[in-house]
């Protein structure tokens, strides 16, 4: 009986922490430092209350692998000089409006590996200096239109979420790198990409995107890296990809059309089907990466014409007179 009671008491104690909000005050940084790391792993939320004299000079705050569940107004009130904020690998589900309203100097925000499902229009509204935002590995389903419009984002990581649409920007963005890999995105069009005039790197690996219409990249004339690995994409547009340097198409088993002639700057392709190798007219090497053009005599790859034995020019689209599966890695014995 005593044992039983003790067991129940233990059970209550061990369950108790998650049911009650435990705010932790942001501590004073060590002497001569402006960097704070929160190691107390019983905090469920953060607090930063005036007087601010001990914390107002903090420039970097780290609280990764915490038990923080909620971010709310007052979490960062004093931290007006904050530039870097790491809140990754925690239990964050909710970011209340105005949480970030005093962080106008923040440049890097890592919220990756949390459980955030939704971003409201005003969630990040005040982060006017934000350049780098990581929201990867959350359960994101919805991002309000224009949610990132007031930011200066150059890098936006949205990979490993549940997004069916890519976020809509209403104003021209500064985004250089956009990652929406591992999301059930089905459709992407010129309207969603049209504001990213600076875009150089677009990662769409393992999305459900089937189609990239001609004209989709009309305003993305700086695009250099395009990752379409493991997508059901069936063709690539020829227009507006003159700057493309690197193309990733491993596992794109429906891709029948690669207008290689339009890709004037292509220097590297990552692929795993001899069929694609033939389309690109380059050699399949041990890494499944092929050089398509010489770059620099000493450092860059050199032209390697597609190895004939890998090429079967009789491939036909399914339903016609297909005799061979073009996506079977024929003749490739050394690698996967
Ligand atoms: C850790 O945070 C909890 C909850 O706010 C608090 O009760 C506890 O005193 C803190 N522990 C330390 C060592 O600061
Ligand atoms: C802290 O900075 C002051 C002034 O810059 C310097 O004199 C002092 O030695 C530093 N203290 C430590 C512990 O680094
Ligand atoms: C911060 O302000 C409080 C209240 O005004 C004061 O008691 C404390 O000594 C100050 N601390 C420092 C480090 O200036
Ligand atoms: C922002 O700072 C001002 C004063 O500096 C304060 O009155 C306001 O409550 C702060 N807002 C938030 C959401 O912390
Ligand atoms: C592309 O840019 C032009 C010029 O800024 C703009 O008028 C047009 O709406 C943009 N296209 C798309 C599809 O957003």
Write the pLDDT tens digit of every residue in 188-217.
Answer: 999 999 999 999 999 999 999 999 998 999
Q: Which atom of ligand 3 is nearest to the CA of 51?
A: 2
CB 66 within 8 A of CB 88: no
Q: How sure is the predictor about 116, in pLDDT bands with cuts at 50, 70 and 90?
A: very high
pLDDT of residue 216: 94
Among 42, 67, 68, residue to substitute to test ligand 1 (most atoms within 8 Å of Cβ)? 42
Does a cis peptide bond (omega within 30 degrees of 0) precede residue 29?
A: no
Q: Is 298 in the pocket of ligand 3 (CB under 6 A)?
A: no
Say which residues have a Cβ less than 8 Å from residue 137's Cβ, sequence separation at least 6: 112, 113, 114, 159, 160, 161
pLDDT of residue 297: 43
Gyration radius (Cα) of the chain, Å: 25
Beta bridge partners of 70: 94
Percent of the chain whose pLDDT exceeds 70: 77
pLDDT of residue 114: 97
pLDDT of residue 230: 95
Write the pLDDT tens digit of every residue in 240-259.
Answer: 899 999 899 888 988 888 88
Q: What's the mean pLDDT when you consider all of the chain?
A: 83
Give the mean model confidence (pLDDT) for residues 165-180. 96
Question: With 60 as the cut, is the pLDDT of residue 333 above it?
Answer: no
Give the mean model confidence (pLDDT) for residues 87-110. 95
* 163-198 b/e (C-beta count within 10 Å ≥ 16 → b): bebbbebeeebebbbbbbbbbebeebebebbbbbeb
Question: With 50 as the cut, is the pLDDT of residue 331 above it?
Answer: no
> What is the value of pTM for the model shown?
0.83
Question: Using a CB cutoff of 8 Å and minimum separation of 24, what contacts does 175-178 make?
Answer: 175/199, 176/200, 176/201, 177/201, 177/202, 177/203, 178/202, 178/203
- Cα 6 from Cα 222, distance rounded (Å): 66
Handedness of CA 196, 200, 205, 209 (dihedral sign): positive
Nearest CA to ligand 3 atom 7: 51
Write the pLDDT tens digit of every residue in 260-288.
Answer: 888 888 888 887 777 777 777 655 444 45
Give the mean model confidence (pLDDT) for residues 120-134. 96
More confident residue, 281 or 93: 93
DSSP H or E stretch at residue 276: helix 274-280
CA of 31 to the centre of ligand 2 (A): 8
Structure tokens at 135: 């929201």
Q: Is 98 in the pocket of ligand 4 (CB under 6 A)?
A: yes
Q: Residue 81's CB: how many other CB atoms inside 10 A?
A: 16
More confident residue, 184 or 277: 184
Handedness of CA 101, 109, 188, 218 (dihedral sign): positive
Q: Is 191 in the pocket of ligand 5 (CB under 6 A)?
A: yes
CA of 78 to the centre of ligand 1 (A): 20
Give the mean model confidence (pLDDT) for residues 18-25. 75
Q: How sure is the predictor about 302, in pLDDT bands with cuts at 50, 70 and 90?
A: very low
CA of 30 to the centre of ligand 2 (A): 11
State the maximum Cα–Cα separation within the chain, in Å, rounded to a whole number. 82
Question: With 70 as the cut, is the pLDDT of residue 125 above it?
Answer: yes
CB 164 within 8 A of CB 186: yes
Q: How sure is the predictor about 325, in pLDDT bands with cuts at 50, 70 and 90?
A: low
CA distances from 128 to 52, 131, 275 (A): 22, 9, 47
């Amino acid at each position: 009986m005593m044992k039983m009671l003790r067991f129940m008491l233990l059970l209550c104690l061990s369950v108790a922490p998650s049911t009650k909000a435990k705010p932790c005050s942001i501590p004073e940084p060590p002497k001569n430092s402006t960097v704070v790391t929160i190691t107390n792993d019983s905090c469920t939320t953060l607090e930063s209350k005036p007087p601010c004299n001990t914390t107002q000079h903090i420039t970097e705050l780290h609280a990764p692998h915490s038990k923080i569940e909620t971010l709310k107004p007052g979490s960062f009130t004093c931290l007006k000089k904050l530039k870097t904020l790491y809140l990754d690998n925690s239990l964050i589900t909710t970011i209340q409006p105005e949480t970030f309203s005093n962080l106008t100097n923040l440049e890097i925000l890592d919220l990756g590996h949390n459980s955030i499902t939704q971003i409201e229009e005003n969630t990040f509204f005040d982060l006017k200096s934000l350049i780098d935002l990581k929201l990867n590995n959350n359960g994101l389903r919805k991002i309000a239109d224009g949610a990132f419009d007031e930011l200066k984002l150059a890098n936006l990581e949205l990979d490993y979420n549940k997004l069916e649409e890519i976020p809509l920007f209403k104003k021209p963005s500064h985004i250089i790198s956009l990652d929406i890999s591992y999301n059930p995105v089905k459709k992407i069009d010129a309207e969603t990409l049209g504001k990213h005039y600076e875009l150089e790197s677009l990662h769409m690996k393992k999305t459900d995107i089937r189609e990239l219409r001609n004209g989709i990249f009309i305003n993305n004339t700086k695009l250099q890296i395009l990752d379409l690995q493991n997508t059901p994409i069936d063709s690539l547009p020829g227009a507006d990809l003159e700057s493309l340097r690197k193309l990733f198409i491993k596992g794109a088993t429906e891709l029948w059309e690669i207008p290689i002639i339009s890709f004037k700057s292509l220097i590297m392709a990552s692929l795993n089907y001899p069929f694609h190798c033939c389309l690109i007219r380059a050699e399949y090497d041990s890494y499944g990466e092929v050089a398509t053009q010489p770059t620099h005599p000493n450092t860059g790859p050199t032209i390697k014409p597609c190895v004939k034995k890998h090429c079967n020019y009789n491939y036909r689209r399914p339903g016609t007179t297909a005799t061979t599966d073009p996506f079977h890695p024929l003749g490739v014995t050394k690698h996967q």
